[in-house]
Chains A and B, each alone.
Chain A
């Protein structure tokens, strides 16, 4: 009797043990599926999210963004700021203090020389580094001692957290990549496929465009982590089958970025093996309004350029009425469900930058009609289409080929036709639309249409560079080979002046105020009609704990904390 009780107690204790005292490798294997397969594990040679995120389990930056978009120290003890003296008063220098005692997975110490090497690796003049923008404006990186990194900028940089911060800018080991500088970078297959890192896992085997198997890093800084001994990271397939594998069949523990209609997700969730999780970054589905005339009768090279302003889309009554006619809550319900929110803003996140000056969550067809009537834009020839100065409000509405976007097109066309516009829909294969080929008339940069719909976002948490997309000189035009980020060709001198002020301001509250004002300026002056604030939807199995969906950094940022739950 006593013996039995004792044995039961012992058995119970053994069962309880892993949960109570987690230790490295105690939870076996975790299976992750990304429906885009990684082809390389060196994020400096590939801009693809799949490559950046898979590599983030192995190599790490000095600091990361957490799920709220706040900086958290990663390989350092604290985030340098002006307040703690880590950032110089003139905003030209930032000093990182590396945590003492960090080891690479091969057992050698992690030093400031590795950080400096990473800078040299990416900025090598002969190399084609994909993350070069992270290192822009740096004059030098100094290493006064083994644990101190000083980054000097050529100009005052209010946001000095570009280099060595976030999953796109991790630290490479100098010893491993020493011979891979410049033109040799892409030939170092062994290094690019098996980077040595400080992260919780190390590569066991990497099959490009297929599977990565990883094992716990024996030299990881927290002896209790990671809870999983091995990771199987499968790439490829499509979003629907990845969602099914996690939520319906339970073959995998984590599926990334499920871009599926809400009813499809709900159906998968009924499988009961997993749950979807949503996170909101600054991704906004929007309609860009062309400020220039895209009339095909205009000669090539003048079409959709500042030479010919748009005949009616610059009229406040027209773009305001177009925005009022849209039922955004319905669009969210149909297209994105829990992965979408109504927004009137170009920059809806981080929260501190989200302007609250506009509201647009109710559709007002009658108000839109009245506004057009009041502006004298009425149907004069009885064909059901309003005219402004004799030009009928007839627009071409283009977007990329995607089921949700085509549904949106159909709905918005219907509403716009109700207020007296004529709408022609066009959808372009997304590889062409976003391909950026200057020779194709169908790219979103060329914008040979009156309005176009797509989504855009920015990396990190500071919208300064993103807000710079509405500057006059960023407009795509023939002289720039149709490259440029100011897709709607928005141009307002006041905007440019205010943006210049933003780039010189360091005070956070002031930056937020200016950024909101810039956001409002673009939306209220008809640069775009924001529609839906889109989140990212991933799914994890019910038995996987510790998942915190992070849209500001790699989704696998805290993979060291993942564990098995019952």
Chain B
């Protein structure tokens, strides 16, 4: 009695994987796809790119010296004033008008933006590095936790303004002799902003590291003999990337605002070195007569900060695999 042999696929075929229908996707491509659908992030990102390019390339296109005094053409209004007031003192040679000493507002906006953005980015990167380092060390190595977190508390209690006044007094002269008056002050301001703003990042990172290092995949990695450094780099850091990115975005905004506040108070860069905060401070007295002098740098600061915040918001959504795809 012979039964018919059922038609079975060949064993080799059964073991074969099905061909993926699409080419594999990298994590970053997923992130980008998600980010692209976040309207706020797209708006924020493109504005940030626009303003960065404007302050970087702008001075090469609009080649007017922002510190050049032109007292005969002082107090000019922006060109758009001609729309409703044909007698306004305005001209295409000074499209955004001029200040009380005849300095060109457009050139000052570009130069000021350069200073503000440079301070913002540099301080943000520095505070991020410090914050992440402290956070990872405190979260991963239990021995360091107490010490590092108390240090963090200590720094949280530092008031930035008195600290900056003391730092200016102590370090201005040596920095000025090595890097020049503007370079020295740049380093000083960036450092002070960075060392007074890394604490939230450190706390967030520490909290996440504490949670993640108890997970099974870290245990597995440790059981096969992975060193601590490798675990941190390969397993922990990629998992805390999203909070770091978010605090980076917030940090940039804070740094720009802090620099503006310092310039506003007259601490920091030499008085003829334009920054957005300084332009704002100079304009406050004549706010009623020349509202544009407050509005232009004010709007620039607000939009930059807002766009960074939106970008950070979008990045957080895109970087978190649990949210991504929803």
Contact = CB atoms under 8 A, between A and B. Distances in A.
Interface in A64-123: none
Interface stretch (A257-265, A281-289, A315-323): A257-265
Interface stretch (B49-57, B109-117, B263-271): B263-271
A424 B286 contact: no
Nearest to B273: A425
B216 interface: no
Given A424-B270, A427-B266, A442-B169, A410 B285 contact: no
A441 B169 contact: yes
Given A261-B286, A334-B100, A413 B266 contact: no
A260 B285 contact: yes
18 contacts: A261-B100, A261-B286, A267-B288, A330-B71, A334-B100, A401-B267, A401-B271, A407-B100, A407-B101, A410-B272, A413-B272, A424-B181, A425-B270, A426-B271, A427-B270, A429-B266, A429-B267, A440-B169
Given A410-B103, A411-B69, 15 more contacts: A296-B173, A334-B100, A403-B285, A406-B272, A407-B100, A409-B272, A410-B271, A411-B101, A414-B69, A424-B270, A425-B270, A425-B272, A427-B271, A429-B165, A441-B169
Contacts of B289: 263, 267
A425 B271 CA distance: 7
B282 interface: yes
Contact of B266 (A260, A401, A410): A401
B8 interface: no
Nearest to B68: A414
B3 to A, nearest CB: 101
A566 to B, nearest CB: 30
Contacts of B169: 432, 440-442
Contacts of A406: 266, 271-272, 282
Nearest to B271: A406
Contact of B69 (A297, A410, A440, A442): A410
Contacts of B270: 424-427
Contacts of A442: 169
Interface string B300-319: 00000000000000000000
B186 to A, nearest CB: 15
A240 interface: yes
Interface of A: 240, 260-261, 263-264, 267, 296-297, 330, 334, 401, 403, 406-407, 409-411, 413-414, 424-427, 429, 432, 440-442
B27 interface: no
Interface of B: 67, 69, 71, 100-101, 103, 165, 169, 173, 176-177, 181, 265-267, 270-272, 281-282, 285-286, 288-289
Nearest to A400: B266
Contacts of B176: 296
Given A296-B173, A429-B266, A441-B173, A409 B271 contact: yes
Contacts of A411: 69, 71, 101
Nearest to B284: A403
Contacts of B282: 403, 406
Given A334-B100, A414-B69, A261 B267 contact: no
A240 B272 contact: no
Contacts, number: 67
A407 B165 CA distance: 23
B188 to A, nearest CB: 13
Nearest to A240: B285
Contacts of A267: 288-289
Interface centre among B103, B169, B265 (most CB of A within 10 A): B169
Contacts of A429: 165, 265-267
A226 B271 CA distance: 49
A264 B290 CA distance: 11
B179 to A, nearest CB: 13
A108 to B, nearest CB: 50
A414 B102 CA distance: 12
Contacts of B288: 267
Nearest to B289: A267
Interface centre among B176, B272, B281 (most CB of A within 10 A): B272
A334 B271 CA distance: 17
A401 B267 CA distance: 8
Nearest to B281: A403
A409 B278 CA distance: 15
A328 B265 CA distance: 28
A442 B173 CA distance: 11
Contacts of B267: 401, 429
A429 B177 CA distance: 21
Given A424-B270, A429-B266, A432-B165, A296 B285 contact: no
B192 to A, nearest CB: 15
Contact of B101 (A263, A334, A426): A334
Nearest to A414: B69
B263 to A, nearest CB: 11
Nearest to B270: A425
Interface centre among A330, A334, A406 (most CB of B within 10 A): A406
Contacts of B265: 401, 429
Nearest to A297: B177
Contact of B285 (A264, A330, A334, A424): A264
Contacts of A425: 270-272
Contacts of A410: 67, 69, 101, 103, 271-272
Contacts of B272: 406, 409-410, 413, 425
Nearest to A423: B272
A330 to B, nearest CB: 7
Nearest to B266: A401
A411 B68 CA distance: 10
A403 B280 CA distance: 12
A261 B288 CA distance: 13
Nearest to B290: A263
A436 to B, nearest CB: 14
A263 B286 CA distance: 8
A294 to B, nearest CB: 11
A314 B176 CA distance: 25
A500 B307 CA distance: 69
Contacts of A407: 100-101
A334 B71 CA distance: 10
Nearest to B182: A424
A110 B226 CA distance: 95
Contacts of B100: 261, 263, 334, 407
A440 B172 CA distance: 12
Given A240-B285, A432-B165, A296 B101 contact: no
A133 B161 CA distance: 37
Contacts of B286: 261, 263-264
B98 to A, nearest CB: 13
B172 to A, nearest CB: 8
Contacts of A296: 173, 176-177
Interface centre among A297, A407, A411, A432 (most CB of B within 10 A): A407
Contacts of B177: 296-297
